[in-house]
Amino acid sequence: ALKAEAVAFRTALDTIGRFTVKKQTGGDDVLFGTVTNGDVAEAIEAATKKEVDRRDITVPEIHRTGTYKVQVKLHSEVTAEINLEVVSH
């Protein structure tokens, strides 16, 4: 049942397609600080109203605005890959 729920949630994440994180930037679209897995968890929660454990999110090193691929482990056998758009605010 948990695996089926995770697969359904992965489908929902794929349907949304893109999540946005707003970060403060300096010149040249370089971020102040980095995008954390907590930031991604908040973006997913805001869009889906479902909580995702930030420890199950793998974020690449992000230093500039742009679109990135982020891995979200939903179950031991189910991993979703979401598009994360980092924009300046």
pLDDT value of residue 28: 87
pTM, rounded to two decimals: 0.89
Q: Say whether pLDDT at 72 is over 90.
A: yes
Mean pLDDT for 27-55 is 93
- pLDDT over 90 at 36, yes or no: yes
The pairs formed by 73-79 with CB atoms below 8 angstroms and a separation of 24 or more are 74/6, 74/9, 74/10, 75/2, 75/3, 75/5, 75/6, 75/7, 77/3, 77/6, 78/3, 78/6, 78/7, 78/10, 79/10
Question: pLDDT tens digits for 11-34?
Answer: 999 999 899 999 999 888 899 988
The pLDDT of 50-63, averaged and rounded, is 94
Domains and CATH numbers, the chain: 2-88 (3.10.430.100)
The residue-averaged pLDDT of 30-58 equals 94
